[in-house]
Amino acid sequence: MATNRKLVLAERPAGRVDENTVELLEEELPPLGENEALVAVRYLSIDPTIRTWMNDAPGYLPPIGIGEVVRSGGIGEVVESRSDRYNEGDLVFGMVGWQSHLITGESTGAFLQPLPPGTDPLMAINLFGINGPTAYFGLLEVGELKQGDVVVVSGAAGATGSTAGQLAKIKGAKKVIGIAGGPEKCAFVTDELGFDCCIDYKSESVARRLHEEAPSGIDLYFDNVGGEILDAVLANLALRGRVVLCGAIAHYNETGRPAGPSNYTNLIRQRGKMEGFIVLDYAPRYPEAQGALAELVTEGQLKHREHVVDGLERAPEALNYLFDGTNTGKVVVRL
């Protein structure tokens, strides 16, 4: 028997999560059944979408129920097994939830996939989990990146944006412009990730800088943010420009309805298009993205950074880092 420590949703947040949002509970897990394995969670993938799952609102997945473990991707280690599929010591990934232990097996509803032996778990949680495939399919399939494109990526120092911008450069974009908050993040985006330039949206006029950096217009915008930055990009779209709506983090904590982008009519004039996507639709093709990204890392072409926060209890704080911009790179909670 193992004792599980779990963070359950105690109340739905209005705005950012706070000390009342989750409650820490303990429970004894039952003995393992046949074909089951006990997993100790080692890393949690902290994603902005977790905040959207806390709302009692329709979404691409059902809301997390009050009293349910907060839904979350992550990586665990098999500590006991009654299954041929899992050996003790294996690292496994999938939806582990904000908790210390869980039982995996086809009958439990939590079916975790083994990670290839020797895989760096931090790289895996960043590039093999949600963010890598999101950057890959969002940019190449939804955005239809073309050689010579002028590309803009917001949230450029974050998990998804940092990968999307580097991939754009690797795949032949003429110019990649990042947008991020603050001089340190912008230095990371240009000096370490190799973007051509980075606009600090906290201290510069995004619309004016975009006009200077992309005088012939923006061919492809990978939008992680929404809000005023999306509007500024729409005003600077090139002929047949594409806007990939990956995320709208500027709105996830809002309680009212977000203001609409007022420059959307530019899509008409420029014969442009704007398209949203959910990476889960590409799940059968994740191995394609994972393989391509792993190869680029091995070749030294693609960099990744993780922002590690220690302790299950700090998961709500870590989630807020995504909204106050504390993080550079992928936010991971280590248990």
Draw the binding track, 197-236, toward ligand NAP (x: CB under 6 A; -: no contact). ---------------------------xx-----------
Q: What is the chain's alpha carbon radius of gyration, rounded to the nearest angstrom?
A: 20
Q: Which of 8, 22, 41, 49 binds ligand NAP (CB under 6 A)?
A: 49
Neighbour tally for 238: CB within 10 Å: 16
Q: Does 278 bind ligand NAP (CB under 6 A)?
A: yes
Phi and psi at 239, nearest 5°, equal -60, 130
**Contacts with ligand NAP, 70-99, as mask; x by CB under 6 A:** ------------------------------
Reduced to 3 states (helix: H, G, I; strand: E, B; else coil), residue 127 is: helix
Question: Which of 156, 159, 185 minimizes the C-alpha distance to 169?
Answer: 156
Q: Does 47 bind ligand NAP (CB under 6 A)?
A: yes
Exactly one of 17, 39, 102, 322 binds ligand NAP (CB under 6 A); that residue is: 322
Amino acid at 33: G
Among 50, 130, 198, 289, interactor with ligand NAP by CB under 6 A: 130
Least separation in angstroms between residue 321's CB and ligand NAP is 7
Cα–Cα distance for residue pair 63/1, rounded to 1 Å? 30
Query: How far from chain centre, in Å, is Cα 33?
Result: 34
Q: Residue 123 belongs to what H/E stretch? A: helix 121-123
Stretch that binds ligand NAP, among 74-82, 143-151, 190-198, 275-283 (CB under 6 A): 275-283
Q: How far is the CB of 186 from ligand NAP (least distance, A)?
A: 9
According to CB under 6 A, which residues from 250 to 269 bind ligand NAP?
Answer: 250
Q: Contacting ligand NAP (CB under 6 A), which of 54, 127, 243, 279?
A: 279
Q: Select from 180, 214, 294, 319 the one that contacts ligand NAP (CB under 6 A).
A: 180
- Which residue in 50, 177, 189, 249 binds ligand NAP (CB under 6 A)? 249
- 80 φ, ψ (degrees, to nearest 5): -160, 140
What is d(CA 42, CA 45) in angstroms, rounded to the nearest whole number?
10
Q: Does 190 bind ligand NAP (CB under 6 A)?
A: no
C-alpha–C-alpha distance, residues 186 and 202, integer Å: 11
166 vs 327, which CB is nearer to ligand NAP? 327
Residue with tokens 């004792």: 3
Q: What is the pattern of x (binds ligand NAP, CB under 6 A) and - over residues 137-156?
A: ------------------x-
> Which residue is listed with tokens 């949002």?
21
Does 277 contact ligand NAP by CB under 6 A?
Answer: yes
Q: Is 169 in the site for ligand NAP (CB under 6 A)?
A: no
d(CA 335, CA 44): 8
Distances (CA, A) of 297 to 290, 292, 293: 11, 9, 6
Q: Which helix (H) or strand (E) holds 273?
A: strand 273-276
Q: What gap in Å lies between CA 309 and CA 332, rounded to an integer?
A: 6
Q: Is 88 or 288 the residue whose CB approaches ligand NAP more closely?
A: 288
**Residue 317 C-beta: closest distance to ligand NAP, Å:** 14
Residues that bind ligand NAP (CB under 6 A): 47-49, 130-131, 134, 155, 157-161, 180-181, 185, 224-225, 246-250, 277-279, 322-323, 325, 327, 330
